[in-house]
Amino acid sequence: MQILRSLYNWTMELAKNPKAIWLLGCVSFIEAIFFPIPPDVLLIPMILANISKAWLYALVATIASVAGGVLGYLLGFIAYEQIAEPLLIALGKEAAMSLFANSINQNGFVIVLTAGVSPIPFKVVSIMSGFTKMQLSLFILSALLGRAIRFFIVATLLKYYGEKIKFFLEKYLGWLFLLFIILIVIGTIGLDYL
């Protein structure tokens, strides 16, 4: 429990650093291509540390994530077999690759929008959108809309309820961490049955 509390305190201190906005942009960018950790891990503490900048942080995360998604798209479009496919296989995303490859051209806008909002791996969708030659402008529009919805909802909720959420997090940190681990285990087991 002490390690978890130390990690929480370290993250909150990092979030207060004026250069954290650059780190948020970097994490948001690379997460859309290959990085396994979502930007929310940094976005949430940054907003809790400085609630007045909630929407600025959401904007940075949105723009950087879509820019990374465009690079992922280009990787899928130009170098799928050489770079993108081995990268996705190394990340263990084979099932998601085949699922999206078969349906992206029929439902591309909805799939990219859904991936932008949900925990569906955005990197897989961005790369597969390029591989399947989805129209780039449609990809950018749906990615921008999806990522903006996701990050601005988080920012808005934290802007208005941030102090209560911060108090709740600090009070029940251990229990929330345990719940998070249980959800990861259930999600991992569930993915095996899809």
Q: Band the pLDDT of 176: cuts 50, 70, 90.
A: low
| DSSP codes joined into one string, 11-50 | HHHHHHSTTHHHHHHHHHHHHTTT-SS-THHHHHHHHHH-
Separation CA 136–CA 147 (nearest Å): 16
- Cα angle 58, 19, 29 (rounded to 5 degrees) comes to 50
Separation CA 97–CA 51 (nearest Å): 37
Q: Per mean pLDDT, which range of 3-12, 54-63, 101-110, 185-194 is the poorest?
A: 185-194
Separation CA 50–CA 21 (nearest Å): 11
Mean per-residue pLDDT, 136-151: 93
Question: Strand, coil or helix: what is 172?
Answer: coil
* CA distance readout (Å), 95 to 36, 76, 121, 127, 188: 16, 16, 12, 14, 13
Residue 62 has pLDDT above 80, yes or no: yes
Enter the pTM of the model: 0.75
Q: Would you say how long the chain is, in residues?
A: 194
Residue 127 has pLDDT above 80, yes or no: yes
Residues in contact with 131: Cβ distance below 8 Å, sequence separation at least 6, in sequence order: 76, 77, 80, 84, 101
Residue 103 has pLDDT above 60, yes or no: yes
Residue 169 has pLDDT above 90, yes or no: no
pLDDT for position 10 = 74
- Of 17, 54, 36, residue with least CA distance to 166: 54
Q: Band the pLDDT of 194: cuts 50, 70, 90.
A: very low
The residue that leads in pLDDT, 32 or 178, is 32
Percent of the chain with pLDDT over 90: 26
Question: Strand, coil or helix: what is 177?
Answer: helix
Neighbours of 169 (CB within 10 A): 15
User: Which one-letter DSSP state was computed for residue 81?
Assistant: I
Mean per-residue pLDDT, 52-60: 94
Residue 29 has pLDDT above 70, yes or no: yes
Separation CA 34–CA 12 (nearest Å): 25
Neighbours of 122 (CB within 10 A): 28
Residue 88 has pLDDT above 80, yes or no: no
Q: What is the mean pLDDT of the chain?
A: 80
pLDDT for position 57 = 95
